[in-house]
Structure 1
Amino acid sequence: MKTVKIVLISVFVLAIAVFFNREIITLKIMERTIEKNLTSNLMTNLPDGLHVYLCGAGSPMFDVKRSGPCTAIIAGNKVYVVDVGSSAAKILQQGRVPLSNVEAIFLTHFHSDHIDGLGELIMQLWANGTRNTAVPVIAPRGVEQVVAGFNLAYQQDDQYRTAHHGETTMPPSGSDALAVPFNLTKGADGLVVYEQDGLKVTAFKADHKPVDPAVGYRFDYKGRSVVISGDTVKSDAVAKFASGADLLLHEALSQELVMFINKRAKEIGRDNVVKITLDILDYHTTPVEAAETAQQAKVGHLVFNHIIPPLPVSTLESLFVAGVDEVYSGDFTLGKDGTFISLPVQSKDINIEELIW
């Protein structure tokens, strides 16, 4: 009994000490957090390989677990960003992806949800990534207009930052992006759009009509491979370029769940939502169709990406993937912001973890 009293008194004294010193304790915690944020690096202990970090697994619809489309591909010690949806720069930093290692940006097409974070990312690569040269933005023809628009929109901001922080800290040469267009001609069987440091990136046509051009990408590095479908209906092109890949990141839309939104929109008189939710059914792939593509291509692992509609609770996630395991014999993951997949070179392992949720 005496021991219990001593423990209770000690806890009480400790609670009082914490209460009266809470500001000092909070600042100490903040100090350690700042140090961790400035020094911690996702790539520090990664084995050589091809690694994938979802910096945006959602769509234009608001989803608490999924921001606008963004995928970071890590090959060796370099980072390549595919599509730059809203919050891309923040989710990259939240996952401790070093912006200084970003080598290039790839775009699958120019829908707003795939490019609306581009201006912020370019600025963050300059300020926090300490770039002193323009970051390449590799994409189909039309990217020249997109990049020129963002460069122009941020021109005054760039001038303010250089004037305030100085050219040594914020050199004008690093403030912009550089458009690197390519052209997939009619009938082309894919096109190698980047090949350097052991990494080969091949673009292939995606079927996202009326959006044209639209592409997907295959990344090959030292025997490991990742394919990003881009926005598309079920496509033989995706199956072809995903053939034998370790990992397929495929967009997916649940028609059943979207039609729940459509039904409710009709009931409350939201005619614009009714029309849009009907229209989007004809240029996306269902989860089961994506799984059929993965089975046809014999990919090692399927990750659902660009998730439509939002899935804020786990029950909806189960409904989203209903029927997938009936058509695909491999493992699959329902992507969310922070999903990280590691494909080390020295083995055929596929390691998956959640970094921020």
Structure 2
Amino acid sequence: MKRKLLFGVLLLIVAAAGLTVLFQKQIGERLFAQGAASRIDNAGLDLGDGLHLILCGTGSPLPNPDRAGPCNVVVADDQAFVVDIGEGGARNLNLIGFDIASLDGLLLTHFHSDHIDGMGPLALFYWTQGSATAPLPLIGPQGVERVADGFNAAYALDHGYRVAHHGTDIVPETGGGLRAMPFAIGEQPVVVLERGGLRITAFRVDHDPVRPSVGYRFDYKGRSIVISGDAARSPMLDRAAKGADILVHDALQPGLVGAMTSALEADGQANTAKITRDILDYHASPEDAARSAQVAGVGRLVLSHLVPPIPNAFFYPAFIGDAATYFEGEITVGEDGMVFSLMPDTSAIKLGKRL
């Protein structure tokens, strides 16, 4: 009896497999249509009033299939700003369900390639998804005009093709590209925007020889987020982060980078090994970031722009190193898709994941 039952089950499996192969095209079309409708219907990201941080990229120039280049979004009620846009950042924003057309601007901390090489797709989505009639505002320190001009020139032919193909109702000719909004930065912090209860302050950081190089602080309804950009530890950053709820700090683990350098040298890749040695002096270690967080009295430290690439969470303790001995608060190793929500009239920080 058991053998007959088993034989019957096997026949059903074989028959089902045969039918699947026979009707694979039709099944695939139906499943795709259902999946597309479901994903589009559930794509919206409703955060509510408060101050929110979305990590749309936590990687570095070193290849990592699980992390886009540096990318952050700060949302304050109906205002939203991207801070840096590395490769893959715009893709992640779409996957997260963020409405790129709703952006108020893009802020750059500095002009290293890995912080700007996602600008083209971001500006394109801003234009096409919302039929924007003006370019995406690009806010940054002196020199940001050259960056905007270069990207606009590179995408000029593409701009013409899209207008000709889709029409000006969908892609207005006056939209597309980037509009530079530079600010001067010296030793003192500078308020670069203040409206609707949101204040954005830029402050200089130590990323020599990269100058200008800044971080940003966002204050809204009693909550605050600080993004370091790329920075070695410095008193400037410690002061700017004073009392912040969240400090997002770049982090390089020297011990792990040293192991990578040794492997590169053993493989004869002298050029790349030289680069991995050079980067040690202008990024903070997790321990340095923890010291800054403690001195500034921040609520939570979020490590991002992770160097070297971390294969998975098993390696987080090795990456964090001794950072927990220097900071009494919570340390989070940032991952693409993390969403931190800071609501008014509370000190709580809610963490979610969208990827």
Partner of 2:94: 93
CA distance in 2, matches of 1:42, 1:285: 35
Offset, 1:24: 3.1
Partner of 1:63: 64
Identity %: 39
Offset, 1:18: 4.9
In the alignment, structure 1 segments of 5+ residues that lack a partner are: none
Offset, 1:208: 0.3
1:225-262 CA distances to partner (integer Å, 9 max, x unpaired)? 10001111011111111111111100000111111111
The 5 A counterparts of 1:242-257 are 242-257=241-256
In the alignment, structure 2 segments of 5+ residues that lack a partner are: none
Offset, 1:210: 0.3
CA distance in 1, matches of 2:52, 2:130: 20
Whether 2:285 is the aligned partner of 1:294: answer no
CA contact (8 A) 2:222 2:345 kept: no
Partner of 1:40: 42
CA distance in 1, matches of 2:335, 2:64: 10
1:336-357 CA distances to partner (integer Å, 9 max, x unpaired)? 211221112253221112221x
**Comparing 199-208 with 17-26, which one deviates more in the overlay?**
17-26
Name the aligned partner's letter for residue 23 of structure 1.
K
1:200-229 CA distances to partner (integer Å, 9 max, x unpaired)? 100000100000000000011111110001
1:247-295 CA distances to partner (integer Å, 9 max, x unpaired)? 1100000111111111122222222122211111110100011011111
1:60-83 CA distances to partner (integer Å, 9 max, x unpaired)? 000122111110111112321000
CA contact (8 A) 1:107 1:138 kept: yes
SS at match of 2:174: helix
Partner of 1:117: 118
Q: 1:26 aligns with which of 28, 31, 35?
A: 28
1:27-61 CA distances to partner (integer Å, 9 max, x unpaired)? 232223222343434433x2311111111101100
Name the aligned partner's letter for residue 42 of structure 2.
S
Question: What is the TM-score of this pair, normalised by structure 2?
Answer: 0.93
CA distance in 2, matches of 1:152, 1:112: 17
CA distance in 2, matches of 1:119, 1:326: 41
Partner of 1:305: 304
1:153-200 CA distances to partner (integer Å, 9 max, x unpaired)? 100100000001111111011112100000013x32x01001122211
Partner of 2:349: 350
Name the aligned partner's letter for residue 26 of structure 1.
G
CA distance in 1, matches of 2:239, 2:175: 38
CA distance in 2, matches of 1:42, 1:246: 26
Partner of 1:154: 155
Partner of 1:194: 193
CA distance in 1, matches of 2:39, 2:181: 32
CA contact (8 A) 1:41 1:98 kept: no
CA distance in 1, matches of 2:199, 2:258: 40
Name the aligned partner's letter for residue 320 of structure 1.
F
Partner of 1:229: 228
CA distance in 1, matches of 2:113, 2:130: 24
